[in-house]
Structure 1
């Protein structure tokens, strides 16, 4: 048992050292790309620091208004196209809903009468249990 643990530890160390040397070799092969990415993020951080919050809020508000102005005609056109579809679905669903309501109404009436009977029994039994006043 101890031997297998030691062997597993040695194998793990060997794999780790090989992986570290591989990472070092790959890191030496890709310095230009890493430098580009690092400079991009540094520039991004500097730009974000340069912006003041009211200025950023104004830019965001202007962007939202511009986006709304661009998408508003598309949304209205889509709503106009969907109106016939929704009315068609409504026309098809109305008879089905009426049929379901008709079928359920008989069941609800039966349930209501049964609940009324149960309630009457409970009231009668409660009156029988209570002492006369």
Structure 2
């Protein structure tokens, strides 16, 4: 039993160390590819003039806008009835909430005014007579 456990551990260590050495050998190649990609990107960006880059970006934005404009208009057309329907449903709800909140707001205002008057009276009482 102990021998088989030791054999399994030795095999696992051998496989792990071999796979680690393979990864170590493959990693520089991958790093070289990534470094070359970014170096090429930097070189290309250096070669492109600032105005040329801005013109290309503007052309791309205009092309994208032209491509998406019909979809946006179609979506707006589809949402118009839906937004009207929502507005019709919300107006009665808002009126109901407002009618329920108005008395509470009046009560709160009255309590706050009473509290301010009480604090002012207490402050006047603490001041020395003049």
Structures share fold, TM-score greater than 0.5: yes
For these two proteins, the number of residue pairs brought into alignment is: 118
* TM-superposition CA deviations, 1:53-98 (whole Å, max 9, x none): 2211110111101111221122122112111111111111111111
What are the ranges of 5 or more consecutive residues in structure 2 without an aligned counterpart? 1-12
Q: Which moved more, 1:41-50 or 1:113-122?
A: 41-50
State the partner residue of 2:19.
19
Query: In structure 1, what is the Cα distance between the partners aligned to 2:33 and 2:125?
Result: 90
* TM-superposition CA deviations, 1:16-61 (whole Å, max 9, x none): 632233336768xxxxx99988876665454333222221111011
What is the TM-score with the length of structure 1 in the denominator? 0.69
- Equivalent residue in structure 2 for 1:116, among 110, 113, 117: 113
Name the SS for the 1:79 alignment partner.
Answer: helix
- CA gap of 1:126–1:22, structure 2 versus 1, over 3 A, is same
Query: In structure 2, what is the Cα distance between the partners aligned to 1:127 and 1:34?
Result: 79
What is the TM-score with the length of structure 2 in the denominator? 0.71
What are the ranges of 5 or more consecutive residues in structure 1 without an aligned counterpart? 1-12, 28-32
- CA gap of 1:56–1:90, structure 2 versus 1, over 3 A, is same
